């Protein structure tokens, strides 16, 4: 049974981006019109749907029906009818809204101003049309480096004063917040490897914002009874007590507005720009950042944003398992390492590939994931995991080994720099 509202079906059809969007059929268009007119329907979803439709173009009869009904022929039509909160409360971004609807890119300063609006905690929940509109436009036409830099600056200003620079051996590690559905997470073992090499791994985690809703790294950390910290001061205290994984920072302890964005993202249905920026949060000014990307050119774009912030060591992996930090079989895993030397960055790319005849179609269990981490940590094998057959044990052991080999190579490069 389909539990999606018509406006959500519309977002999923036209909110994909430049490529792959589908037309809205005539019958669905009638239902969407009713929902846009309904004051009870989420304002952020109305903004997301209209923003995506306008940028995509009104191509078939159903979409043209929506265009004609609401008279959506130019940016000013949308602003006059729907952007009432900005017109009343935030007039200084009206020109920026017009630029975005005209598919023009923004400067760092303009993006910073937009970010200040997007992360303003005082905007009423029933007046978020412009937030849905802006977020979808960024996603639809792809964000520029300058836009990412400005948006990130506005987010970082929201971080609480309890966060300040920490040890230069600190390493920020971030997995996609929506977690895994078809693989295990081996990230705590990456942290353990870093600890053995005298680094301090610190993971940025969050409640799951979707669109996948299985377990994520925060859930796994809780299962492992790993330490969470809520300030740099607490981090300084807890580092005196040895632990095998490192430390975890929940985004809810960076800023309350980031909690609100978790619910917004569930309403938006499609991943926003935030899915890239949250992988490079760095509240303690760590000198090393490890992140993942899936689609090109996000490995390079994210690296460029971090270069703009002068992070000394930047390491990204693309096409890892489910877009994360774990090595993936049967496809080329790409890494990009950038190390700053004498105010310039030296950059090195690597490719890792290993074909496997094994292929497992399974939904991972967080309990099994916990046991795998603990078994490999203690014995360097998975013999104690009863829920896996011998082929699976061999497969996942090799996957862990290959993943750790990639990160051992990173450590060697850092040590040699």
* Contact between residue 70 and residue 79 where contact means Cβ atoms under 8 Å apart: no
Distance between alpha carbon 329 and the CA centroid of its chain, in Å?
A: 23
* Residue 125, C-beta contacts closer than 8 angstroms, at least 6 positions apart: 43
Q: Give the DSSP letter string of 231-266.
A: SHHHHHHHTTS--SS-EEEEGGGT-HHHHHHHHHHH
Question: What gap in Å lies between CA 170 and CA 286, rounded to an integer?
Answer: 5
- Predicted local distance difference test score (pLDDT) of residue 2: 57
Distances (CA, A) of 237 to 168, 232, 247, 387: 16, 9, 12, 38
Question: What gap in Å lies between CA 417 and CA 408, rounded to an integer?
Answer: 14
Q: How many CA atoms, within 13 angstroms, populate the side-chain half-sphere of residue 160?
A: 15
- Predicted local distance difference test score (pLDDT) of residue 1: 40
Return the residue matching tokens 């895994």. Answer: 180
Collapsed DSSP state (helix, strand, coil) of residue 148: helix
CATH no. for 170-416: 3.40.1030.10
φ, ψ (nearest 5 deg) of residue 70: -100, 5
Output the six-digit token pair for 62. Answer: 């159903």
Could you give the angle at which helices 43-56 and 129-141 cross, rounded to 10 degrees? 30
* Contact between residue 51 and residue 134 where contact means Cβ atoms under 8 Å apart: yes
φ, ψ (nearest 5 deg) of residue 192: -60, -40
Q: List average pLDDT for each run of 10 residues in the chain, which is 417 residues long.
A: 85 85 94 97 97 94 97 97 96 96 97 97 95 95 95 97 95 97 97 97 97 96 98 96 96 96 94 93 98 91 96 97 96 97 94 91 95 96 90 95 97 94
- Predicted local distance difference test score (pLDDT) of residue 351: 96
* Contact between residue 97 and residue 83 where contact means Cβ atoms under 8 Å apart: yes
3-state secondary structure string, 66-113? HHHHHCCCCHHHHHHHHCHHHHHHCHHHHHHHHHHHCCCCCCHHHHHH
| Continuous H helices in 256-324 | 256-268, 274-277, 298-308
* Residue 205, C-beta contacts closer than 8 angstroms, at least 6 positions apart: 175, 177, 216, 217, 218, 221, 248, 249, 250, 251
> What sign has the CA pseudo-torsion 45, 48, 51, 57?
negative
Distances (CA, A) of 301 to 16, 147, 292: 20, 11, 12
Output the six-digit token pair for 25. Answer: 């059929």
Q: Which helix (H) or strand (E) holds 153?
A: helix 145-156
* Residue 357, C-beta contacts closer than 8 angstroms, at least 6 positions apart: none
- Predicted local distance difference test score (pLDDT) of residue 82: 97
Question: What gap in Å lies between CA 67 and CA 226, rounded to an integer?
Answer: 52
* Residue 310, C-beta contacts closer than 8 angstroms, at least 6 positions apart: 340
Strands 288-293, 170-173: pairing kind: parallel
* Contact between residue 288 and residue 313 where contact means Cβ atoms under 8 Å apart: yes
Q: Where are the domains of the chain?
A: 6-156, 170-416
Output the six-digit token pair for 362. Answer: 């399974």
């Amino acid at each position: 049974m389909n539990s999606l509202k018509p406006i959500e079906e519309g977002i999923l059809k036209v909110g994909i981006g430049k490529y792959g969007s589908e037309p809205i059929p005539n019958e669905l268009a009638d239902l969407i019109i009713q929902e846009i007119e309904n004051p009870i329907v989420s304002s952020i979803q109305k903004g997301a749907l209209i923003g995506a439709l306008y940028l995509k173009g009104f191509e078939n009869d159903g979409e043209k029906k929506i265009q004609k009904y609401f008279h959506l022929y130019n940016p000013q039509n949308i602003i006059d009818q729907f952007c009432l909160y900005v017109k009343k409360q935030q007039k200084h971004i009206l020109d920026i809204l017009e630029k975005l609807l005209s598919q023009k890119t923004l400067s760092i300063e303009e993006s910073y101003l937009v970010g200040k609006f997007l992360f303003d905690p005082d905007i009423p929940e029933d007046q978020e049309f412009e937030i849905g509109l802006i977020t979808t436009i960024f996603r639809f036409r792809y964000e520029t480096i300058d836009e990412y830099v400005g948006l990130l600056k506005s987010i970082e200003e929201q971080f609480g004063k309890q966060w300040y620079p920490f040890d230069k051996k600190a390493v920020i590690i971030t997995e996609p917040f929506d977690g895994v559905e078809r693989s295990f997470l081996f990230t705590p073992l990456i942290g353990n490897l870093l600890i053995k090499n005298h680094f301090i791994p610190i993971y940025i985690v969050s409640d799951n914002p979707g669109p996948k809703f299985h377990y994520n790294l925060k859930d796994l950390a809780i299962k492992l009874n790993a330490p969470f910290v809520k300030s740099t001061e607490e981090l300084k205290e807890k580092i005196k007590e040895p632990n095998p994984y490192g430390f975890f920072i929940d985004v809810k302890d960076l800023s309350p507005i980031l909690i609100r964005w978790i619910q917004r993202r569930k309403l938006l249905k499609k991943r926003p720009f935030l899915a890239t920026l949250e992988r490079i949060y760095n509240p303690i000014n760590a000198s090393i950042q490890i992140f993942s990307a899936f689609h090109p050119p996000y490995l390079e774009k994210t690296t460029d944003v971090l270069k703009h912030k002068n992070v000394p060591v930047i390491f990204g992996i693309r096409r890892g398992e489910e877009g994360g930090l774990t090595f993936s079989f049967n496809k080329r895993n790409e890494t990009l390492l950038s190390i700053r030397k004498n105010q310039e960055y030296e950059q090195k790319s690597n490719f890792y590939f290993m074909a496997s005849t094994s292929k497992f179609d399974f939904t991972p269990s967080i309990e099994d994931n916990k046991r795998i981490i603990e078994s490999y940590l203690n014995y360097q094998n998975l013999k104690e995991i009863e829920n896996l057959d011998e082929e699976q044990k061999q497969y996942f052991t090799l996957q862990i080994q290959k993943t750790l080999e990639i990160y051992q190579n990173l450590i060697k490069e850092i040590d040699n720099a």
